[in-house]
Every structure is written in C-alpha cells, then in structure tokens.
Amino acid sequence: MATGLAMNRCSISVCRTADVLLNRPTVSVVRNLKFNRRLIGNCSIASAVPFVVAEDEKYGNKQVISLTPRLYDYILSNVREPEILKQLREETAKMRGSQMQVSPDQAQLLAMLVQILGAERCIEVGVYTGYSSLAVALALPESGRLVACERDSNSLEVAQRYYELAGFSHKFVYTSQVIVKHGLAAESLKSLIENGEGSSYDFAFVDADKRMYQDYFELLLQLVRVGGVIVMDNVLWHGRVADPMVNDAKTISIRNFNKKLMDDERVSISMDSQVSLHSSKESVGHREP
C-alpha cells in the first residue's frame, strides 16, 4: 500500500491514504497543512511554549511540538535546496503574493514523495512562479513529464524562465519534460481526460483555488493511476477550518472537502499528528529504471 506524509509549519502533520474500492489497489491522498510563520499564533500554540498536550485524555496526553521561529530556521538549515531553486525563491520573495510560494522544506518533501513513489508522470495544479513544480521536475527521470497548470500569465512567465534555466544547468529539456497549461486548471484537467490520459499519472500536487478543491480532486482521481499519490495543500487553511466563527467561502469549501474525503467510501484515511520528515511511511523510494 502506498502511503504519504505531509508536514506543515506548525509541526502538525496529516497523512491520508486513499484506497479506491472495487477491488482496486491503493491511490494515496496526502493532505498537506501549510502555515505562514507569522500565523503561528493561529495554531493556538504560543511561540514560547515548546509543546502542547491534547486536551482529551483518551489521546494519551500526547505532546505536539510547536514550531517556533528558531526551530523552523533549524529545519530550513537542514534542507538540501538546489541553487536554481534558491534563486527562484529569492526572486519570488520580492514579488506580490510571494506567500503563495511553498517553503523549501515543503518542496523537498514533494520531491522526496516523487522519488519514493518512482513517479514519471506528474501534475501540478496551481504553479505560481514554479518553485514546487521545478522541485518535482528535478526529481523526475529523463523520461519523466510534469503537466503544470496555472491561470496567471505573469507568474507563469517566471516559472517558464526557470524551467528553461534548469534545462541548461540540470540537463533536461523543459519543453518535453514540463508541459505548461495556461488557463483554468479544471479545463486543463478535463482536456487531459478527453485526450485519453486517464489513470496515466503517478503524482499530483494541488495548491490552487480552495473553492475548487473537490472538483480538482474528482478530476485527478480519474487521471492519477491506482497506487499513485495526490497531495492537497492548505487543508487547515491557517487554522480557520477549526474556528466556527470563520465562515468565508474558502474556509467553508475546505471544511466541506475535508468532510467529504472523511466520509468518502472510496478511500481509507490515516491521520497522524506527529510524523518525522524522514519517515519511511512517505511514498518516497527507489525509482524504477
């Protein structure tokens, strides 16, 4: 059974494994929890407190480590970030909306998932300037392919420039390895299905319009092969999903998505509040030649 790990910046991780029924093997769904450092307080974890304890004693008074700025800096110091990704990250940091870029530790996790899974065909929904998609592409074999779906032309121009740069410095040709789909992601995914590419992808990462999560998920279930992995970002939405006083459209959409996935009889789920970044439970592994 393929499994997956997701880490967030408040040291709370969710691991979701989805089994498609009808006597079919496993499709894994990883729901990634992404927080900004400035929003640590929204996790109900004070930066001065090293850990919190689950309130319900039935959970065994489990301690959950909080992610302080010092600890997060330590995590980042242990990330193997290729130089071209560092350049892209630093350029993106100067742009409007830079908070949408995934962190280096998250990108490293995505690349590790691709490697362990032995993925050769991947999809990313929501590219922004291309940091996560480039990290995934660099983890693919020479025969690999990544379909990158993005609707914003300005950010996509940056992504394409770095795909080209990577072609010179990392020995792959972006035009054959990274296929850019400019437009609405749902339409791009539907076109792949109509093109007969169902069940032909190994891995997908979604970090896009939260109100479309359920639609993306259903489309990706048709595109990702049995035994593949789907990673859904932002499922805690900065902690807002747990706050009954927050009821904006995006938060409600993510709550509904989480509940539907919980109740979806096509999938089995596993959630772990403390998972090591190096855990072998993540679907990272040896790539078939």
Which of 113, 111, 100 minimizes the C-alpha distance to 137?
111
Question: What confidence score (pLDDT) does residue 60 get?
Answer: 76
Across the strands, what pairs with 191? Answer: none
- Residue 94, amino acid: K
Q: Which residue has the tokens 């080209």?
A: 164
Q: How far apart are CA 158 and CA 169, in angstroms?
A: 17
Query: If pLDDT is split at 50, 70 and 90, which confidence band does 286 have?
Result: very low
Query: What's the mean pLDDT when you consider all of the chain?
Result: 76
Residue 280, pLDDT > 70, answer no
Which of 2, 60, 63 minimizes the C-alpha distance to 29?
2
Q: For residue 60, what are its two tokens?
A: 């065994």
Query: If pLDDT is split at 50, 70 and 90, which confidence band does 279 have?
Result: very low
CA atoms within 13 A on the CB side of 129: 23
SS3 182: strand
Question: What confidence score (pLDDT) does residue 149 get?
Answer: 97
180-210 burial code (b ≥16 CB/10 A, e <16): bbeeebbebbeebeeeebeeebbbbbbbbbb
Query: If pLDDT is split at 50, 70 and 90, which confidence band does 31 have?
Result: low
Q: Which one is predicted more confidently, 205 or 268?
A: 205
Q: Which residue has the tokens 């896009």?
A: 208
What burial class does residue 272 get, using C-beta atoms within 10 Å of its C-beta: 0-12 exposed, 13-18 middle, 19+ buried?
middle
Q: Where are the beta strands (DSSP E) in the chain?
A: 17-19, 26-31, 51-53, 63-65, 121-125, 145-150, 178-182, 201-206, 224-232
Q: How far apart are CA 50 and CA 60, in angstroms?
A: 18
Q: What residues have CB less than 8 Å from 176, skipping those under 6 apart?
A: 145
SS3 203: strand
Query: If pLDDT is split at 50, 70 and 90, which confidence band does 30 have?
Result: low
CA atoms within 13 A on the CB side of 214: 14
Cα 96 versus chain centre, distance: 21
Question: What confidence score (pLDDT) does residue 238 get?
Answer: 83
Q: What residues have CB less than 8 Å from 82, skipping those under 6 apart?
A: 138, 170
Which of 129, 121, 119, 179 minimizes the C-alpha distance to 152?
129
Which of 138, 119, 147, 131 minimizes the C-alpha distance to 284?
119
Whole-model pTM?
A: 0.77
